[in-house]
Structure 1
Amino acid sequence: MLIIVLFLIAIYLIYKWSISTYDYFEKQGIPYNKPLPLIGSNRNLFFNRKTFIEVLHNWFYEFKDEKASGLFEFRRPILLLKDPKLIKQLAVKDFDYFMNHRTIITEDVDPLFGKNLFALKGNKWRDMRATLSPAFTGSKMRNMMDFVSTVGHQTAEAIKKDIKSGGVNTFEFKEFASKFTIDIIASTAFGIEINSFKNPTNKFFKVAKEITNFASFKTGLKFAGYLAFPKLMKILKINLLDKKSCDFFEEAIYDTMKTREKHGIVRNDMIQLMLQAKNGILSHNNNVEEKVIDGFATAKESQLGKSEVKRKWDDADLAAQCFVFFLAGFETVAQTMSFVGYELACNPDVQQKLFEEISEMNDEINGKKINYEQIQKMKYLDAVISETLRKWPGAPVTDRICVKDYELKYDNKCIKFEANKTIMLIPIWSIHRDPKYYQNPDKFDPERFNDENKKLIDPDTYLPFGVGPRNCIGSRFALMEIKTIFYYLLLNFSIEVTEKTQIPLEFEKTPFAIKPKKGIWVELRPRN
């Protein structure tokens, strides 16, 4: 009998603990999504009832006329900001209060993951951002463009040869794009040419697929564990990503850096830039920068990213930056490419107009490899990519955690943020699809970004690479990759829908990933 009583008391105490934070928004008069004990506002994700995008939209429109509303990630209060001006206030004007992302994996658990720019905090993040900022300027992209263009040309030639010899011309586009992006990373980071279309079983591609399988049940469970019980996961030292695969890339990074330093090898790639950062000789060249044209979606660097850095970095710090460059450059860019391919297949009029622009550029450069300035001159290509990033942003949400106590006052309301406790969530996907900002938002319409119309877009409502000083540092590189592959693809192929193309797309009910149910299938038909 005593055991039963103690058990019931324990259950009661656990229940009270699980709901102890749930009065957070009620006390402040902020409308909020009613949570379940321990699970919080995640019930539809937890029980696989809806996709992540559906859940996000439900949160966004639950209190339609409110600029902000509350929800709970398990026990943790999260403020969902829906008003672009409030987002700008917190993420830009009051950045010092909201400098950090929430911590999922710390460097004491996994140095390769915890030391990267996305995970770093406070002054260490400031110094690393300023250190790396010169590596992602337009002038540095110009230097790396030759590698990207070479891979783009090789990709198109390999596919043409394969189709001529009787190979298939129907592709799952995410898989296709992943091969291109891993070839780019191998070339621009490690100085290795692997050609994943000729050698689809190469070690780089195989390991990259294992690391970035975020939609797997196992990875989702680990991710949920770090969100709900971070201290326990750290004590148990459970790695989010596959350790063997991470070790492979870590060794490749270290080996390449050591070989370069030992033999004095110089190559205009990411490893070379990391070595310059290590030696304190990586810096902005403002005279060159003024001449570089950027695409509409390019994230602008803040003054914080141009400050002087005196901190010394070791190989582990820089290896972590190469690793996150790989993660973002492989998975996120491949996902965006798959959506570009999908929209071009579904909108042949858009594809034809883009093909004509590409043909004109090819004639202008006499069929030579395209360079950085030439790819940036193509206005319709930029409009197509910009519209894809509006409709299908690579990161559907981003977050910030309050680092100092803060009060947000608006519309006769006052929300109190507690340092290192309260998180703000920025629903990029939902803002991009809000008819208040984009007419007929579900339509793919690159003309939104032509010279006349793009002036009318409120920049606070277009956030494909995040917002404020903590935006994506690699936006120029990502855009260069995407534009280059579609330049060479459309020059050589038309992209067609097939019987396997799912229209409209449906998504898997995975908690933390955007994954089309049946993939994105297209046919690449060689042009005459």
Structure 2
Amino acid sequence: MTGILLFLLIVVLVYLFYKWSTSTYDFFRKQGIPFRKPVPLLGSNANMFIRRKPFHEIIDEWFHEFENEKVSGLFEFRRPVVLIRDPQIIKQLTVKDFDHFMDHRVLITEDIDPLFGKNLVSLSGQKWKDMRATLSPAFTGSKMRQMFDFVSTVAIQTSETLKKDIQNGSENNFEFKDFASKFTCDNIASCAFGIEVNSFKNPTNDFYRIAKKVTNFASLKVGLKFAGYLAFPGLMKALKIKLLDKESCDFFKEAIIETMRTREKLGIVRKDMINLMLEAKKGKLVHNNNNEDSSIDGFATVEESHVGQSQVTRKWDEMDLAAQCFIFFLAGFDTVAQTMSFVAYELACNPDIQQRLYEEILQTVNEIDNQKINYEQLQSMKYLDQVISETLRKWPAAPITDRLCTKDFELKYDNKAIKFEKDVNTFLIPMWMFHRSPKYFPNPEKFDPERFNDENKHKIQDFTYLPFGAGPRNCIGSRFALMEVKTIFVYLLLNFSIEVTEKTQIPLKFENLPFQMRPEKGIWVGLKPRT
């Protein structure tokens, strides 16, 4: 009798769990919106979490299943998510009706993990607006000029170290992501924290070691945590499960907060990110020129909206500002290194493009005496900007982004309507698919920098090229990222030609990982010293 009751109890619990896990799956059907059929609990993400396909192929499936529809639905576990395929709707939701879709989904709140929860990407509502306005002056062209010497110094040091290593007989065959991440680590350590680490000579330094650890989102442990945040956010919050381990948290807190305290105490001034955060703390970080022309810094550079140019009176504590340095490091370390890898790959595969770029760089450098370029000279190289812009089209650093509904909203289009519920619905912008669509970019698999020359770039339809996102919630660090990538390739190409080797995988294939794109065999190239 006891066994029968236990069996019945299990059946009832399984049934109740099934009903709960599928209780939202009629959301799109009720509104007459086509949607991807969900699997109980896993929603439309089953292929992603059981790692059956690369992330970009999953996005491709979502996009093309209802490719003639401007809007369709899918489910992120139990959450109804709207996929947008129309540039004009993206413009409407991210700009015109921005107040209804101000936030990203917050997976990790500040009470669970302050470094993640307090950074600009995770903040929401008015606090995000205030932080965006506080930080915006730190990422203007004038502030980039101040930090350019740090970036240039690291780039020159990197090129000289490589040259000596190759001359001394080191193997001339590089997994470029590994190389690039060492450069970005050294660069961010210098520009953000005022610390020189030289990860090429000392690859076991704490900055590089911990940066590799905290950006290893492919590990099973981190993957399970992310799945938990998405599927059971209340439970993860109740259990206070952090993404970062104690060593990583303590390292960044000490590196940032202790450096800020030391500089305040000793009156040390260095024109880097820590100094900008100290100015923000004192309320001294303000726009010197609200009308800066973003086009000077490259086609892909995003413009700051009215949100970033507003005045802020909020006072920030040390952890608020430390979290911004942390996300600056995290984003600048991995995503910039990824973009650098794709630039190297395309230059190796397209030697004619590489040669033209080298000639432009050489001509610019020959016009100065010490062969060390300045910020204005970097931005004057039009073909360099075309190459980087095309790389970001073909290989966007973030293949998809999201917005959370913050006020109830009804989207009307083509005699249809879909209701967004506050704090329930999210919409997705699949940048990967817009960038790879022949409708917007003919022959999209071809690497063609001429798409971005003076004659053609104005033909690109608004809100189809989104390497740094869209609207006021776009990436605040676009100028810095572009400056990093451009600078390292100026000095690399002055000293080396980048070549295909027997290890170079053509075409690239990717691992079956959720949320990221990682080439299954890495990106291998050779660096041949120029005579």
Structure 2-normalised TM-score?
Answer: 0.98
Structure 1 residue 115: deviation in Å? 0.2
Contact 2:294/2:302 (8 A) holds in 1: no
Q: Take 1:46 and 1:479, find their aligned partners in 2: how far apart are those partners? A: 32
Which stretch shows the higher mean deviation, 33-42 or 210-219?
A: 210-219
Q: What SS does the aligned partner of 2:307 have?
A: helix
* Equivalent in the alignment of 2:215: 212
How do 1:432-511 and structure 2 match up within 5 A?
A: 432-511=435-514
* Equivalent in the alignment of 1:285: 288
**Residue 429 (1) aligns with residue 432 (2):** yes
Q: 1:102 aligns with which of 96, 101, 105?
A: 105
Q: Take 1:43 and 1:296, find their aligned partners in 2: how far apart are those partners? A: 37
Change (3 A) 1:410 1:110: same
Q: 2:361 aligns with which of 349, 358, 361?
A: 358
User: Between the two proteins, what is the percent identity of the paired residues?
Assistant: 71
* Equivalent in the alignment of 1:237: 240
Q: Take 2:117 and 2:294, find their aligned partners in 1: how far apart are those partners? A: 36
Q: Take 2:246 and 2:467, find their aligned partners in 1: how far apart are those partners? A: 30
How do 1:273-422 and structure 2 match up within 5 A?
A: 273-286=276-289, 289=292, 293-422=296-425
Q: Take 2:260 and 2:144, find their aligned partners in 1: how far apart are those partners? A: 20
**Residue 114 (1) aligns with residue 125 (2):** no
* Equivalent in the alignment of 2:50: 47
Structure 1 residue 198: deviation in Å? 1.6
1:163-209 Cα offsets, whole Å, 9 max, x none, are 11111221100000000001111111111111111222211111110
Structure 1 residue 373: deviation in Å? 0.7
1:123-143 Cα offsets, whole Å, 9 max, x none, are 000000000000000000000
Structure 1 residue 368: deviation in Å? 2.9
Partner AA of 1:134 in structure 2: P
Q: Take 2:415 and 2:93, find their aligned partners in 1: how far apart are those partners? A: 17
Which stretch shows the higher mean deviation, 68-77 or 242-251?
A: 242-251
Q: Take 1:494 and 1:371, find their aligned partners in 2: how far apart are those partners? A: 22
Q: Take 1:136 and 1:292, find their aligned partners in 2: how far apart are those partners? A: 14
* Equivalent in the alignment of 1:254: 257
Q: 1:164 aligns with which of 157, 167, 176?
A: 167
* Equivalent in the alignment of 1:136: 139
Q: Take 1:291 and 1:409, find their aligned partners in 2: how far apart are those partners? A: 33
**Residue 188 (1) aligns with residue 191 (2):** yes
Partner AA of 2:182 in structure 1: K
Change (3 A) 1:290 1:409: closer
Q: Give runs of ≥4 in structure 1 deviating > 3 Å.
A: 287-292
Partner AA of 2:292 in structure 1: E
Structure 1 residue 47: deviation in Å? 2.2
Contact 2:295/2:301 (8 A) holds in 1: no
Q: What SS does the aligned partner of 1:215 have?
A: coil
Contact 1:174/1:334 (8 A) holds in 2: yes
Q: What SS does the aligned partner of 1:286 have?
A: coil
Q: Take 1:284 and 1:87, find their aligned partners in 2: how far apart are those partners? A: 29
Contact 2:229/2:236 (8 A) holds in 1: yes
Q: Take 2:512 and 2:250, find their aligned partners in 1: how far apart are those partners? A: 30
* Equivalent in the alignment of 2:24: 21
Q: How many residue pairs are counted as aligned between the two chains? A: 528
Q: Take 1:13 and 1:318, find their aligned partners in 2: how far apart are those partners? A: 45
1:9-35 Cα offsets, whole Å, 9 max, x none, are 111111111110000000000000000
Q: Take 1:408 and 1:480, find their aligned partners in 2: how far apart are those partners? A: 38
Partner AA of 2:181 in structure 1: S
Q: Take 1:526 and 1:225, find their aligned partners in 2: how far apart are those partners? A: 48
Structure 1 residue 288: deviation in Å? 8.6
Contact 1:406/1:417 (8 A) holds in 2: yes
* Equivalent in the alignment of 1:124: 127
Q: Take 1:46 and 1:310, find their aligned partners in 2: how far apart are those partners? A: 43
Q: Take 1:118 and 1:483, find their aligned partners in 2: how far apart are those partners? A: 25
Which stretch shows the higher mean deviation, 282-291 or 404-413?
A: 282-291
Structure 1 residue 291: deviation in Å? 9.9
Q: Take 1:104 and 1:257, find their aligned partners in 2: how far apart are those partners? A: 28
1:53-77 Cα offsets, whole Å, 9 max, x none, are 1110000000010001000001100
Partner AA of 1:308 in structure 2: Q
Structure 1 residue 244: deviation in Å? 1.2
1:496-524 Cα offsets, whole Å, 9 max, x none, are 01111000000000112211000000001
Partner AA of 1:126 in structure 2: K
Change (3 A) 1:109 1:287: closer
Q: Take 1:287 and 1:456, find their aligned partners in 2: how far apart are those partners? A: 27
Partner AA of 2:390 in structure 1: E
Contact 1:138/1:292 (8 A) holds in 2: no
Partner AA of 1:125 in structure 2: W
1:328-380 Cα offsets, whole Å, 9 max, x none, are 10011001100001100111011000000010011012343211111000000
After superposition, the CA RMSD in angstroms is 1.1
Q: Take 2:433 and 2:245, find their aligned partners in 1: how far apart are those partners? A: 32
* Equivalent in the alignment of 2:530: 527
Contact 2:154/2:183 (8 A) holds in 1: yes
Structure 1 residue 241: deviation in Å? 2.6
Contact 2:94/2:471 (8 A) holds in 1: yes
Contact 2:215/2:330 (8 A) holds in 1: yes
Q: Take 1:288 and 1:472, find their aligned partners in 2: how far apart are those partners? A: 18
Q: What SS does the aligned partner of 2:297 have?
A: coil
Structure 1 residue 287: deviation in Å? 7.8
Partner AA of 2:226 in structure 1: F
1:251-289 Cα offsets, whole Å, 9 max, x none, are 100111011100101111000000000000001111893
Q: Take 1:189 and 1:6, find their aligned partners in 2: how far apart are those partners? A: 57
How do 1:33-112 and structure 2 match up within 5 A?
A: 33-112=36-115
Contact 2:290/2:309 (8 A) holds in 1: no
